[in-house]
Amino acid sequence: MSNHHSTSAAEKYSAGEQSSCFQSLSELLSSSSALIFFELRKLCIAMRALFPNVLPNPNSLSRSKFPIRCFGCQIRQNSSSKIWSFSVENNVRSMSASPANAAASTLPSRRSSSSSSLYARPSLLEMKKEKAENRTRAYEFLRKLGIVPDELDGLELPATVEVMKERVDFLHSLGLTIDDINNYPLVLGCSVKKNMIPVLDYLGKLGVRKSTFTDFLRRYPQVLHSSVVIDLMPVVKYLQGMDIKQSDIPSVLERYPELLGFKLEGTMSTSVAYLIGIGLARRKLGEILTRYPEILGLRVGRVIKPFVEYLESLGLPRLAVARLLEKKPHMLGYSLEDQVKPNVAALLQFGVREDSVSSVIAQYPDLLGIELKEKLLYQQSFFESNLLANSEEFGRIIEKMPQAIVLGSKVVLRHIDFLQQCGLSLKQVRKMVIACPQLLALDIDVMRMSFQYFQMEMERDVEDLVEFPAFFTYSVESTVKPRHKMIAKKGLKCSLAWMLACSDYRFEERMKYDSIGVEEMETQPSFGMESLLEPREEEEEEEEDEYEDDDSDEDDEFM
């Protein structure tokens, strides 16, 4: 009968009344803890009468397995009914305590719960301490390997020694030694997966040989810090824009890996602009940079401009300097103060006249970068000891053929022996060498063929060779033989110089004369600076194109 009465009461209990009951519970929880307990007990008894199958007996309340503490109460969820149940946690002693003491007794419990939460984070002090400990362990590991980690203080290091060991092992696999790492210890700040492998993969795809990676990284280890997209790709595109062929880019980077660290709008652009400004051919720019990419790293104000202006001061026109740089771009790598100026002083010291220095440099620009004084001293002593020239005559030899400075003594003696075998005395040989030192660098087999034709076909006296030793520098088949036949056919008698020391056009004009005038006689051929100032074929084509463009523009204006 009581059960029937409880059931009917539960049915009459509306949803609104249930909400009001729980609202009352919420209000009670916000009041003092002492009153909460007694009012809560009464409420539980009333609710027990309404929901006998849901709420437990208040007299048999026990601790839930996972309590949520709140003002001395336990709240738990019934898994079957999804209804929250409440139980009193504190014992009789705590219940009889004052409200203030009861509230205070729950605070430590709440702090304990928050500190053990899964979402708890270490403090900044703890994190700083952990980092310091990790750094200490990493430094100890590196010191055992022989690496000095002093420069790594401001660098973010791996959290574990294992990761640091992985980096060191990877660098070893690339051929880098402990000394290499000590030369640039910041490389240990590069991640193997995020930095090293992407950079090396990109270089490999460009065509840089893996066999050169070791030397590449020794010269420019900073490349491992680079971003492929942000740092490396723009430089490669810039090089392509400088007319460097795609197939040549790997060799350019292998020769000068530091290029990958330059700013495009900085040194590289200004050096190229300056060289083009002094007359360097645009069409040859790609070829020049391929042979000597270091140009892109030279500063105009500190290196290039002072070098060009110094050569100008010696008598070389600016355009001639540009032509020399097209042929020998590595000249810009010579130190102006430590190499160029001391070598010019050495030339003057060993008998080269001041007004001939520019001609000497134009003929053999490489002499500006060698240990010139020692070579000059040795070569002068050799020529004097073999009675080929005195100190003053040695200066004339250098003016006519600066390459004589680097000729080997065996080569010189071999040519002297050949000329003596042709019936010339040492005195005559000396005169020929001073007049035409190029004799000492010619192929002896070619000289032998020339002498045979001179002796057998031309039937001249060897004294003619003494007067014009440059005869050996002309090709027998293309020059000597055709001209000799034309002179023989006309019945003229002339010197070797008159016959050979002129252009083909000039020789044909001479063949129209009935006699040979004294004014027609020419001296020994010598180097002329004009050869460096003559317009190139491509420049003439460019001028013609510009002229055509101008004409077309004028036509457009009149149309």
Range with lowest mean pLDDT among 277-291, 354-368, 391-405, 541-555: 541-555
Exposed/middle/buried for residue 41 (C-beta within 10 Å: 0-12, 13-18, 19+): middle
For residues 437 and 401, the answer to whether their CB atoms sit within 8 Å is yes
Q: Mean of the pLDDT values across residues 464-470? A: 94
Average pLDDT of the segment spanning 243-269 = 89
In sequence order, the β-bridge partners of residue 77 are 84
- pLDDT band for position 405 (cuts 50, 70, 90): very high
Q: Note whether residue 434 is domain-resident.
A: yes
Higher pLDDT, 379 or 78: 379
Over 80: is that where the pLDDT of 53 sits? Answer: no
> Quick check: 88 pLDDT over 70?
no
Dihedrals phi, psi of 84, to nearest 5 degrees: -75, 140
- Is residue 96 pLDDT above 50, yes or no? no
For residue 174, tell me if it sits in a domain: no
Nearest to 223 by CA among 252, 186, 168: 186
Q: Mean pLDDT over all residues of the chain? A: 79
- pLDDT at position 38 is 63
For residue 482, being part of any structural domain is answered with yes
Lowest mean pLDDT among 10-14, 267-271, 284-288, 345-349: 10-14
At 41, which helix (H) or strand (E)? helix 33-50
Residue 235 belongs to some domain of the structure: no
Mean pLDDT check: name the lowest of 77-91, 271-285, 342-356, 404-418: 77-91
Return d(Cα 490, Cα 512) in angstroms, integer. 10
Could you tell me which of 527, 472, 524, 480 has the C-alpha nearest to residue 499? 480
pLDDT average, residue stretch 394-419: 95
Residue range of the domain that includes 462:
407-518
| pLDDT of res. 321 | 95
Q: Which of these ranges, 28-37, 138-147, 355-364, has the smallest mean pLDDT?
A: 28-37
Mean pLDDT of 123-135: 78
Calculate the alpha carbon distances from 537 to 321, 381, 547 in Å: 18, 44, 15
What's the length of the chain? 559
Indicate the pTM of the whole model.
0.68
- The number of distinct structural domains making up the chain is 1
Question: What CATH number corresponds to the domain at position 471?
Answer: 1.25.70.10
* pLDDT value of position 310: 97
Q: Which pLDDT belongs to residue 415?
A: 96
- Is 210 among the domain residues? no
Is 479 among the domain residues?
A: yes
The better pLDDT of the pair 552, 453 is held by 453
Q: Yes or no: say if 268 and 236 are a contact pair by the CB < 8 Å rule.
A: no
pLDDT in tens, 476-515: 999 999 999 999 988 888 899 999 989 889 888 888 876 5
pLDDT score recorded for residue 492? 83
Q: Give, in order, the Cα–Cα distances in Å from 512 to each of 365, 490, 515.
A: 41, 10, 9
pLDDT at 119 over 80: no
**CA-to-CA separations, 397 to 369, 391, 426, 435, 470, in angstroms, rounded:** 20, 10, 17, 8, 14
Instruction: Determine, yes or no, domain membership for 474.
Output: yes
Q: Check whether 450 has a pLDDT greater than 80.
A: yes
Whether residue 350 is predicted with pLDDT greater than 60 in this model: the reply is yes
* Cβ atoms 231, 260 nearer than 8 A: yes
Tokens of 43: 């409420």
Instruction: Determine which of 189-203, 257-271, 407-421, 475-489 has the lowest per-residue pLDDT on average.
Output: 257-271
Paired strand residues for 70: 73
Per-residue pLDDT at 159:
74
Question: Taking the CA atoms of the chain, what radius of gyration do you get in angstroms?
Answer: 49
The pair of structure tokens assigned to 235 is: 């430089």
Residue 498: closest CA among 473, 462, 523, 470: 523
Look-up of token digits 């970068």: 369
- The pLDDT assigned to 286 comes to 93
Tokens of 356: 């001939």
Please check whether residue 453 lies inside any domain of the structure.
yes
**Among the listed residues 364, 350, 374, the one whose alpha carbon sits nearest the alpha carbon of residue 400:** 364
Task: Give the per-residue pLDDT at 525.
Answer: 52
Residue type, 262: F
Mean pLDDT lowest among 132-141, 194-203, 476-485: 132-141
Q: What is the mean pLDDT of residues 266-289?
A: 89
Among residues of the chain, what percentage have pLDDT more than 70? 70
User: What is the C-alpha separation between 444 and 434, in angstroms, rounded?
Assistant: 18
pLDDT band for 153, please (50, 70, 90 cuts).
Answer: confident
Q: How confident is the model at residue 50 (pLDDT cuts 50, 70, 90)?
A: low
CA distance 249 to 236: 8
Give the pLDDT confidence score for residue 155 in this predicted structure.
Answer: 76
Residue 534 or 321, more confident: 321
What's the mean pLDDT in 376-382? Answer: 95
405, amino acid identity: I
